[in-house]
Amino acid sequence: MLTKLLSERYQVVQVLSQGMFCKTYMAKDTHLPNRPACVVKHFLPSSEVSIPVEIRRRLFSRETQALQKLGDYDLVPHLLSYFEDEQEFYLVQKFIEGHTLSTELQPGYRWSQSKVVQLLREVLEILNFVHSHGLIHRDVKPSNIIRRSQDNRLVLIDFGAVKPILTQLVKDQKNLVPIEQSTIAIGTPGYMPSEQQRGRPRPNSDIYALGIIAIQALTGLHPTQLPEDRKTGEIIWQHLAEVNVELTAVINKMVSYHFQDRYKSAKEVLEALVPLINLYTQINDKDATLLSKVCQSTLSAYHSNSVVSNTISVPFLEKPTSNHETSVIPKKSPLILGLVIGVVSGLILMIVSYWSVQIISPEPNMQNSLPKPRDINH
């Protein structure tokens, strides 16, 4: 971990990720009050990538301009700064507090269809914005989607400049050559479509990756565990999930093996999802209304029982009093109520028992035991 301040400002406190083309740090901005957290990305480290500094600088400048196109869009990390430090290049982005989607996609756990539709809707809106600015994410996966703590919204992260750079140039044994002539694979296995594996990603390569995440959520299986049709290369997954025909059709088109068969844009997928979005919105509204009615009925029953209880208990507990009198026994004390009822019941039981004994066993008549007068011997 770095011990010095980067650009005499950013203090690295934690390594978030480390790879050949990019190292990511959690840092503190020492120039601002309260030293807020930020994310610093070390762009093409010279210790890992043997590209001349002039070329790295030019590509770094090109990529910062591309990332600045995203502006202040709330659902992607905001680019705060970028700088060069001892011929090393760094990007500074806003830190987003939350947890990644990979923590929610646990093995064996299946999402509901409505939750998957909401996932698709949120991420497709982000991809539509990104693609409209001429950028392709190239690494859409659960660990690059954060559920933001403050509002529970999904945020797409890791727009590291590595991905666009590697679509421009790669290093062969002698020269730097266009990537179109290479076969380098950029992305994450399981979420990467065939054209991206050949080094030729397109905007609907991101759509493919999102469709794979939807299948992962519906089946509870990692993409590498999903079977494929050997002849067509298409993923076989429907038998592993409970999903309706409409959502199945949308997802299958998102993850078609050939990019020509997929949706051409994120906007096109959103339009296809409109009927499902409306359906689940109506269902959620009905559930919310039903829950509200149940809660109101429960509260009404509770208040009614309270009124009946107070009405019954008052005549037994206290005598009518004027407005200036204070009852010795609290009206709403269940402990005292039980005690008084117990005492009264005990007294009644004692009295009833006493009279029962008197009726069943009367006192003996003493006169019957005396001798009659005629039997006396004079």
Contact 121, 247 (CB under 8 A): no
CA-to-CA separations, 268 to 145, 262, 264, 310, in angstroms, rounded: 21, 10, 7, 63
Q: Which residue in the list 72, 85, 139, 172 is annotated as catalytic?
A: 139
d(CA 59, CA 166): 10
| Per-residue burial over 1-20, b = 16 or more CB atoms within 10 Å of its CB, e = otherwise | eeeeebeebbbbeeeeeeee
In eight-state DSSP terms, residue 372 is: P
CA neighbor of 157 nearest in space, from 67, 232, 85 = 67
d(CA 25, CA 15): 5
d(CA 288, CA 228): 40
| Per-residue burial over 275-308, b = 16 or more CB atoms within 10 Å of its CB, e = otherwise | ebeebbeeeeeeeeeeeeeeeeeeeeeeeeeeee
**Residue matched to tokens 């299986």:** 221
State both tokens at 73.
């869009």
d(CA 375, CA 322): 74
What are the backbone dihedrals phi and psi of residue 257, each rounded to the nearest 5 degrees, phi first? -60, -45
What are the backbone dihedrals phi and psi of residue 353, each rounded to the nearest 5 degrees, phi first? -65, -40
Residue 139: active-site member: yes
Would you please indicate which residues are annotated as catalytic (active-site) residues?
139
